[in-house]
Amino acid sequence: MYWNVFSLSFLCRLILIGIVVVGLLLSMPMFVEKGGYAMEKPPEKPLIDLPAPRTDGASALEKALNERRSVRHYTDRPLTLAHIGQLLWAAQGITNSRGFRTAPSAGALYPLEIYLVAGKAEKINPGIYHYRPAGHQLEQVKAGDHRKAVCDAALSQSAVRNAPVSIIITGVLERTTAKYGKRGIQYVFMEAGHAAQNVLLQAVSLNLGAVPIGAFQNEALGRILGPSESERPLYILCIGHPAAR
């Protein structure tokens, strides 16, 4: 009897340790990294290859932090494809073979989607494009200059209409809430902040000016982008060459 009780409690402890070990293993990044690649749907249109991002720029992070200021007035000069590729990479570019990205992500679930609203950009026709991190490519979502419509959704803020390009960050909340429940909503908002700050600092180091825009109507902006209902617009980042003032 004594031996039976002893062996039963030993077995229970063994099972418990097993559960803890398996739980720890499953929470390790190598088991949760799939989101980075797996979320991308097959393209419906030809993709635009972006120039490989620079990862060895000469400008110091401290300099970019010190110089970052919200810039709301821009010249008409278009952004180059290299600018656009670099800015999108800063937002969500993939930086290792396991699919991890420039911005951190809770559980490596990558709930953010990145859109480019192109008005004046070299080698890119005006339109709305979706960034595909896996291939560092753009897929057109809509043709035409949609800056006025985005400006209207952003309470008519002129920076949105005048910036040669804007980057819009959306979030698919379910990607993160599926694992973290309600708290996942907070995580997605936090991640939008990480990605946005990356873009703002990258803009400074490219001698560009940028402003983050949080004042916009979610539904109106969602209709312009046309993503699925589960995708929520989180941030607009207007970017251009700063106008002398």
Q: How far is the CB of 74 from ligand FMN (least distance, A)?
A: 13
Burial of 76 (0-12, 13-18, 19+ CB in 10 A): exposed
Binding site for ligand FMN (CB under 6 A): 69-70, 72, 157, 211-215
Q: How far is the CB of 169 from ligand FMN (least distance, A)?
A: 11
* Identity of the residue, 9 or 158, whose beta carbon is nearer to ligand FMN in the bound complex: 158
Distance, in Å, from the CA atom of 130 to the CA atom of 192, rounded to the nearest integer, reads 16
Q: How far is the CB of 57 from ligand FMN (least distance, A)?
A: 22
* Identity of the residue, 94 or 203, whose beta carbon is nearer to ligand FMN in the bound complex: 203
Burial of 154 (0-12, 13-18, 19+ CB in 10 A): buried
Distance, in Å, from the CA atom of 122 to the CA atom of 7, rounded to the nearest integer, reads 73
In b/e form, how buried is each residue of 204-225, taking b as 16+ CB within 10 angstroms?
bbbebbbbbbeebeeeebbebb
Pairing of strands 165-172, 112-118: antiparallel
* Identity of the residue, 99 or 216, whose beta carbon is nearer to ligand FMN in the bound complex: 216
Six-digit token string for 242? 């700063």
Closest by CA position to 202, among listed 73, 96, 55, 75 = 55
Q: How far is the CB of 166 from ligand FMN (least distance, A)?
A: 12
Residue nearest to ligand FMN (CB): 214
* Identity of the residue, 45 or 69, whose beta carbon is nearer to ligand FMN in the bound complex: 69
Q: How far is the CB of 233 from ligand FMN (least distance, A)?
A: 13
* Identity of the residue, 72 or 130, whose beta carbon is nearer to ligand FMN in the bound complex: 72
* Identity of the residue, 107 or 119, whose beta carbon is nearer to ligand FMN in the bound complex: 119
User: What would the DSSP string read from start to end of 105-140?
Assistant: -GGG---EEEEEEESSBTTB-SEEEEEETTTTEEEE
Where helices occur in 181-231 by DSSP H, the ranges are 183-205, 218-225
Q: How far is the CB of 167 from ligand FMN (least distance, A)?
A: 14
Helices (H) and strands (E) in the chain, counts: 10, 7
Q: How far is the CB of 219 from ligand FMN (least distance, A)?
A: 17
* Identity of the residue, 9 or 70, whose beta carbon is nearer to ligand FMN in the bound complex: 70
